[in-house]
Each structure stands twice: as structure tokens, then as C-alpha cells.
């Protein structure tokens, strides 16, 4: 049965059922009818495809036996059933009708959080691109789209609270001196449209405002938010920047509160991502306000100052009824509010701090760079490695029930157009989607065989992808791709960025 992610249980029951223009789709959910009408159908046997709310121990049950019947306790489950049916229809389609193998499928997810992240800062992607990505996420039963909205290179949402963010914090002059301006942001109407489109497909859109590092765009728009008050320009470089938000200036907390309020109103998601990664502390070490705040609050070092800062921002999020998510560095103060979910991307070879947090009950989303960073070339993170990665494997079994799920992030430093975006994302997103959803043993060959059907749907949607063979390059090609990726990253500022990384790590115990 060519379905991705693989259903929990499926059984062929013999014979086939024809899905055609004469199949009456009996369903209260318009978007399901829309999704199932994705091919042109000819007239055929008159039968029905019924979607009904009912009692089941599964997310949904799908029966094909002359008619099609989907039962679920929730509309979300009915939608998931429809996505399975959509794949079966595509697989069985020929000459205007689809012949479906009769079967019974009982399905449910392994993890509650199945997510894809898109960075729309380093390069901007508009609402239509984002909506077409949502189509694919829905098809493979992912339920979260995390949008990285702010970083050193720009602020990517319309702000009425601080229009200066769009005036000054939008257009960077180029990338490493190439003179090609890069800008763009989502209007509030764009966001509403994306959120509605995703919500119709049971996908939550989680905004991320990265704080207190990766905030040059805020300082460009409002220099007073920095430790030095200097006027900067958006950077044309990537990597870690030492220019960060002042944690000692009281008024900054008010600005952050206003920004978060504005975004929380736009994004109805349960979660709100606060960033917290890669925060060099040099400016804080040399700032009177930061230092006097540390003294006043009895904070031992700048790491604790980040903890203090983050907890204050979390308080605002809580008042807005949001659950915070932070990147794993935000744990390192050892004082992070318990409510914050930690997104694990990189925590030293032994992952000791995230392991410890998990053991103590912290909720974790697994996005480890290898193999889940799909901005990396396939030679570094192949489709096969993304598929085979077991998200509990870094943690020795301790507290693994606290793993909420998985996310595959796509950073866009080196992704400037939609074609590249699709080729980086697909089919690796499908591998992570299957890990997030499916239970039981993995078999890459079996996954790849089922995958071609989904890739056919992408072709029908004119969405690009990399052929699975190319997504698993041989060792020589893999080494070449890896070398090229790193050589491309090297410039004088990469060295500065490395220094900043050292500063970000300073004072923390290494593992």
C-alpha cells in the first residue's frame, strides 16, 4: 500500500473499489472534498465515500469495500483519513478513474508534534509558496509549520506596533557584497490567509521571534534597544553576530511585550517560539545596564542573564496563553521556566544538558542538525539518514516520554529560490514525517518504494524534489557536496562568526 507515512495497521481484504466522478463524497468538511477533487474524474460506478464522526480507538479508520468509509472522533482524524485516501486514489488512478484495493486501515500518530520550519528571513518566501508547502505537509500528516520570522538580516512580518521594523529592518543591500537587495515581509493579511489555509488542514503555524541574539534587525530599526545605542545596518553576512539586544534596559521589555502581543494576536497557535540560540555575551559583559541588572538580580554570570531575560519574556507569553519553545541554548542558565519546550538542535556530542532536562521532565522537540537540517546538502544529511534517525537515540532512554515530536528545519542562507527550496525540502520532509507519525520497525527500502507515489503527487502539483537516488549520494559525491558547502561558507566573516560562537559558549561547561 503506497502511503507515506506508513499507517499503524493496514490489511488488504480482496477486490477493488472504483473511485470516480460518480462517487458521492458525503462529508461536512469542505476542504476534504476539495482535496479529493485534485484529479479529473470520469463517470463510474455510483458509490459513496463517507466521512463521519464516530467512536474509535484510532486517529481514524478507513474501510474500502465497494464504498469508502472514514470514521474518526475528530475532524482532524477525518482529514488524516482523507490524506491517506488521496494517496490511494493517486496510486490507483488510470484513464480518469481510480481503482482502489479493498482494505481496512487503522491509523494513529506516534508523536503529537510533527513539524517543518521555514526561515523566511535569510531569503523571503511569499504566502503562495508557503501555502503550497502546507499542501505537502498536510499530505504527509505533519501538523506544525514553524516560521522563522526575525533575524540579523530582517524582520518579516508587517508591524503596526513598530512600523519602523518594516521601514528599516526589511531590505538588506545584498549578500556578501553581491549588490542584489533582499527583502520582503508578510502583511498581516498574508499571515491571516496562511494561518487560515493551514488551519483548514489541521496545521498550526508557530511564529518565531529570535531573542535576545539574532536581533540585529531590531537594533537597526531601534538602535536604543542595543547595549551601545549605535546605529547599524542589516548585515549582508550570515553566522553569529555579537550585536544583540540589551538585557538590562527596562524599556526593552515593554517593546518586546508589544511585539509579542501583536504577533500572538495574528498567530493563534498554542506555541510561540522565542529563539534563544547562539547568544554571544561580549556586549553584555561591557554594558553598564546589563551588569547592574545582574547585580540587582543576583545573577552569577551572563548565561544567567539570558535565563533572566528569557523568563521575563516567557511571563509575557504565558499571559498571552502561549506555550514557549526555545532552542537548546536557552536551557544553559539552569533557570529556564519549566513551561518552556526545548528544541534540541545541537548540544555537544553527548547531548548532556538536553538529556538532563528531558530526564527532569522538560518537553523536547528533536531537530538534531544531523540529519534533520535540510538546508545541508544530501551528501551531509541524506534521505536515508533522515529516514533512519531515531529521535530517542541521543537520550539513553531517560525521560523519552517527554519527547513531543520532531521538526526538520530549512534555513535559507543558501536557498534563494523556490526551486532550490523544494529540492532541499523534498523528499527529506517525508522521511521526517514518517518518523513523526509511524510506529514500529523501519525499513528504508520499503519507505522508498512507497515514496514514489507521493512524489508523483508533487509532480502533479508542479512542486520539485530530488530523486531518492540523488538524495542518497555515494560517498565520493557526498564528500564533494560537503566540501563545497563548507568552502562556500568560508569568508573573513566566517572567522569572526567562529569567534562569536566561542564567546557564546564561554562560561558554559563543555561536554
Q: For Zn ion, which is the closer residue by CB, 307 or 377?
A: 307
Residue 287 Cβ vs Zn ion, minimum distance, rounded to whole Å: 3
Map residues 194-233 to x or -, x wherever contact with ligand ACM holds by CB under 6 A: ----------------------------------------
* Site map 253..272 versus ligand ACM, x via CB under 6 A: --------------------
Please report whether residue 266 would count as binding Zn ion according to CB under 5 A.
no
Q: Specify the residue, 38 or 414, whose C-beta has the smaller distance to ligand ACM.
A: 414
What is the rounded distance in angstroms from the CA atom of residue 101 to the CA atom of residue 319? 51
C-alpha cell at 12: 488488504
List, in sequence order, the alpha helices (H) in 140-209: 164-168, 188-200
Q: Which residues contact 441 (CB under 8 A, 6 or more apart)?
A: none
d(Cα 419, Cα 159) in Å, to the nearest integer? 29
CB of residue 231 to ligand ACM, shortest distance in Å: 26
Tell me how crowded residue 282 is: count the other CB atoms within 10 A of its CB.
17
Stretch (H or E) spanning 460: helix 444-460
Q: How far apart are CA 228 and CA 283, in angstroms?
A: 8
Q: Cell numbers of 58, please? A: 484510532
From the number of C-beta atoms within 10 Å of its C-beta (0-12, 13-18, 19+), residue 22 rates as middle
The verdict on 119 binding ligand ACM (CB under 6 A) reads no
CB of 289 to Zn ion, least distance (A): 5
Interaction mask 285-324, Zn ion, x per CB under 5 A: --x-xx----------------------------------
Interaction of residue 59 with ligand ACM, rule CB under 6 A: no
CA distance 365 to 350: 17
Q: How far is the CB of 409 from ligand ACM (least distance, A)?
A: 7
Minimal distance, residue 325 CB to ligand ACM, in Å? 11
If contact means CB under 5 to 8 A according to the sort of partner, which of ligand ACM, Zn ion, none does residue 7 touch? none
Distance between CA atoms of residues 97 and 30, nearest Å: 21
Report in angstroms how near the CB of residue 77 gets to ligand ACM at its nearest: 32
**Three cell numbers, residue 421:** 527550496
234: left (phi over 0), alpha (psi -120 to 50) or beta: beta
Binding mask 199-238 for Zn ion (x = CB under 5 A): ----------------------------x-----------
| Residues contacting ligand ACM: total by CB under 6 A | 4
Segment (H or E) for 258: helix 250-266
Alpha-helical regions (H) of 271-394: 282-285, 288-297, 302-319, 352-359, 369-372, 383-388
3-state SS string for 12-50 = EEEEEEEECCCEEEECCCHHHHHHHCCCCCCCCCCEEEE
Which residues ranging from 164 to 203 are in contact with Zn ion (CB under 5 A)? none
Smaller CB separation from ligand ACM, 201 or 273: 273
- Output the smallest distance, CB 235 to Zn ion, in A: 19
Q: Is 278 in the site for ligand ACM (CB under 6 A)?
A: yes
327 binds ligand ACM (CB under 6 A): yes
Smallest separation (angstroms) from ligand ACM to the CB of 327: 5
> Which residue number, 67 or 369, has a Cβ lying nearer to ligand ACM?
369
Site map for ligand ACM, 329-368, x if CB under 6 A? Answer: ----------------x-----------------------
Minimum CB–partner distance for residue 494 and ligand ACM (Å): 15
Whole-number Cα distances in Å, 350 to 4, 376, 393: 32, 22, 11
Residue (79 or 327) nearer to ligand ACM, CB: 327
| Interface contacts to ligand ACM, rule CB under 6 A | 277-278, 327, 345
Amino acid at each position: 500500500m503506497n502511503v507515506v507515512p506508513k499507517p499503524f495497521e493496514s490489511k488488504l481484504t480482496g477486490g477493488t473499489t472504483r473511485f470516480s466522478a460518480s462517487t458521492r463524497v458525503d462529508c461536512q468538511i469542505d476542504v476534504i472534498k476539495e482535496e479529493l477533487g485534485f484529479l479529473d474524474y470520469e463517470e463510474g460506478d455510483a458509490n459513496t465515500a463517507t466521512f463521519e464522526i464516530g467512536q474509535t480507538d484510532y486517529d481514524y479508520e478507513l474501510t474500502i469495500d465497494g464504498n469508502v468509509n472514514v470514521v474518526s472522533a475528530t475532524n482532524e482524524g477525518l482529514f488524516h483519513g482523507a490524506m491517506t485516501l488521496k494517496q490511494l486514489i493517486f496510486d490507483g488512478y488510470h484513464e480518469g478513474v481510480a481503482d482502489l484495493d479493498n482494505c481496512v486501515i487503522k491509523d494513529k500518530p506516534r508523536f503529537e508534534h510533527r513539524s517543518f520550519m521555514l526561515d523566511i528571513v535569510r531569503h523571503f518566501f511569499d504566502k503562495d509558496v508557503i501555502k503550497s508547502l502546507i499542501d505537502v505537509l498536510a499530505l504527509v500528516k505533519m501538523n506544525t509549520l514553524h516560521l522563522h520570522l526575525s533575524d540579523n538580516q530582517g524582520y518579516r512580518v508587517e508591524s503596526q506596533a513598530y512600523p519602523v521594523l518594516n521601514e528599516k529592518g526589511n531590505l538588506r543591500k545584498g549578500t556578501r557584497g553581491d549588490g542584489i537587495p533582499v527583502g520582503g515581509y508578510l502583511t498581516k493579511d498574508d499571515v491571516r490567509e496562511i494561518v487560515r489555509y493551514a488551519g483548514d488542514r489541521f496545521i498550526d503555524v508557530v511564529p518565531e521571534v529570535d531573542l535576545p541574539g539574532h536581533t540585529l534587525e531590531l537594533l537597526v530599526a531601534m538602535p536604543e534597544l542595543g547595549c551601545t545605542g549605535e546605529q547599524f545596518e542589516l548585515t549582508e553576512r550570515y553566522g553569529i553576530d555579537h550585536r544583540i539586544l540589551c538585557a538590562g534596559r527596562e524599556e526593552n521589555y515593554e517593546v518586546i511585550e508589544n511585539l509579542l502581543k501583536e504577533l500572538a494576536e495574528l498567530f493563534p497557535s498554542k506555541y510561540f517560539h522565542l529563539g534563544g540560540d547562539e547568544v554571544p555575551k561580549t556586549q553584555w559583559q561591557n554594558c553598564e545596564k546589563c551588569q547592574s541588572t545582574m547585580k540587582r538580580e543576583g545573577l552569577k554570570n551572563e548565561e544567567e542573564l539570558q535565563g533572566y531575560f528569557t523568563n521575563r519574556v516567557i511571563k509575557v507569553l504565558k499571559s498571552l496563553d502561549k506555550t514557549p519553545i526555545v532552542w537548546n541554548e536557552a536551557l544553559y542558565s539552569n533557570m529556564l521556566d519549566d513551561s518552556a519546550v526545548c528544541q534540541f538542535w545541537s548540544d555537544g556530542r553527548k547531548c548532556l544538558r538536553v538529556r538532563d532536562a528531558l530526564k527532569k521532565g522538560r518537553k523536547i522537540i528533536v531537530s538534531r542538525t544531523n540529519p534533520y537540517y535540510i538546508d545541508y546538502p544530501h551528501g551531509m544529511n541524506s534521505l536515508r539518514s533522515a529516514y533512519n534517525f531515531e529521535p530517542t537515540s541521543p537520550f539513553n532512554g531517560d525521560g523519552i516520554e517527554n519527547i513531543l515530536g520532531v521538526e526538520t528545519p530549512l534555513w535559507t542562507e543558501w536557498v534563494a529560490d523556490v526551486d532550490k527550496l523544494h529540492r532541499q525540502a523534498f523528499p527529506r520532509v517525508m522521511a521526517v514525517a514518517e518518523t513523526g507519525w509511524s510506529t514500529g520497525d523501519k525499513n528504508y527500502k520499503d519507505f522508498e518504494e512507497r515514496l514514489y507515489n507521493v512524489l508523483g503527487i508533487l509532480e502533479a502539483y508542479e512542486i520539485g524534489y530530488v530523486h531518492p537516488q540523488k538524495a542518497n549520494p555515494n560517498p565520493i559525491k557526498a564528500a564533494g557536496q560537503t566540501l563545497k558547502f563548507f568552502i562556500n561558507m568560508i569568508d573573513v566573516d566566517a572567522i569572526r562568526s567562529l569567534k562569536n560562537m566561542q564567546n557564546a559558549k564561554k562560561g558554559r561547561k563543555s561536554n
